[in-house]
Chain A
Amino acid sequence: MTVRMSLLGLSGGLMLAALGMTFLYAPTDAVLGISQRIFYVHVPLALVGFLAFAVVAVCSIGYLWKGSERMDNVAYAAAEIGVLFTSLMLITGMLWAKPAWGVWWSLSPQLTTSLILWFLYVAYLMLRAYAPPGETAARYAAVLGIIGFIDVPIVYMAARWWRDLHPNKVLGPLAEESALEPSMQITFLVSILAFTALFAWLLAERTELRRQETQLERMRYTYGQA
């Protein structure tokens, strides 16, 4: 069994566990009601999106330092998957905001900085799509991938630095111990593991696809020259 197949199996199993726990094990929130269950998909999507952009930044530094094509392929794949996760985070956030706050969107600092993050990495993908293939485009994209990551800690800290509608943090350095009750905490952690495994599988598959794309590009060029 290949690593990619193992990752698919792991993410599938964890996702089923996370879904089961979200709907059958975690209690209904006393204040927000059943809409609070969106939390088990919305927050893991946000956190794994941050992880994806961290991978972009690390691999971009690696590419600029060593010039390794593999690093560039992983950065490209992680950026695409990060944009997917962040898009879904914004959509599920809006679907939770309407019942919780009565509005689809608000210009709160955390929402605004999250939207900026999304735009930054959409710009990264547009740069990769429209710039002529080659080292120059990869280098510009790597710089954008590193600069874009500066917004990630800003998104996380936004609720502390400015007045924001978002509740207290449940994970990371700003997390409060009593933010979630134990059964909610376990469900939340299983959801994070499930989305992280899904990210790992998608990253492996997308990196392989990117490798095929560059190989084909090279073969077409060589065949055209011959």
Chain B
Amino acid sequence: MADRQLMTGNEAMAEAAIRAGCRTYFGYPITPQNEILEYMAAHLPRAGGTFLQAESEVAAINMCYGAAAAGVRTMTSSSSPGVSLKMEGISYLAGADLPCVILNVARGGPGLGNIAPAQGDYFQATKGGGHGDYRLIVLAPSTAQEAADLAGLAFDLSDQYRVPALILADGMLGQMMEPVALPPHRDPATLPPKPWALTGAKGRDPNYIASFALEPTVLRDLNVRRHARYREIEAREVRWEEVATADAEVLLVAYGTMGRIAKTVVRRGRERGIRVGLLRPITLWPFPYSPIRKLAERVRAVLTVELSAGQMWEDVRLAVEGRCATPFYGEMGGVVPTPSEILTEVMRHV
């Protein structure tokens, strides 16, 4: 077994980012993700990077824009209300085709809400929380180990497609500790080159980066090319996990913290002879429509469970398209349903 360290989800994402070659971090404090700032403040300078506590969330995301344009791996993090403040900057990053990693350690909402775990930011993350016709790559870890793994993947995918990547975690995952086997350190100098970056135009034509094109046909063409990349991401990068789906009568669909709790539901259900399985989306965009659709052909019901009023549920129903029943079970405001409560709901559909 690889050497494992006991880390919070927040620390695991921060350390994995540094190991992935992140060399600039800009943030502003908010619970329940302050450990990310603390970790970056302590460790990023030692890796030769720059940590800066910005004057606001808006400033932080715009600092990321500048660092990304200069070709440096860059990250910001916040929690729900703070991520709302970043939305203008995220739209600009998308419009300028800049890679950037954004961590949302989500909390109860709307408004100031509370600091308990919640999944009410799904729409904002996956459907374009900012203005304009753009997508983010959205990754949803369910353990501290997966948080570390996906933090590294987020940088790679974001660079490869020049699309900002958002990790949608929640307060529980951010605060809890688990053993984590960390990936090796990667030297930024060995990462794939970024010939488009603003690195000084000595000996070459100047590069131009902006999210601005006054002429409609020019902007249209930029959007068409960007959306072609989105189609490529949808074709190649869908990720999900299946548990006990082979003979399932009821299929749970749940992600993140709810996804891991659903695993306990599956285990307890199977112990009682209930044929329940789980599909856990790992990428929320691109969403695993196709695997859910295939399973919907042969189960009685697809039960979506979320820490929200039913946001991913809309995507699940788009995937199922009436092939079977699509009930929903959720809690809001930071309340986390117990495995027993979910199992009771499963029993109603067997």
A binds B: no
**Interface residues, chain A, CB within 8 Å of chain B?**
none
**Interface residues, chain B, CB within 8 Å of chain A?**
none
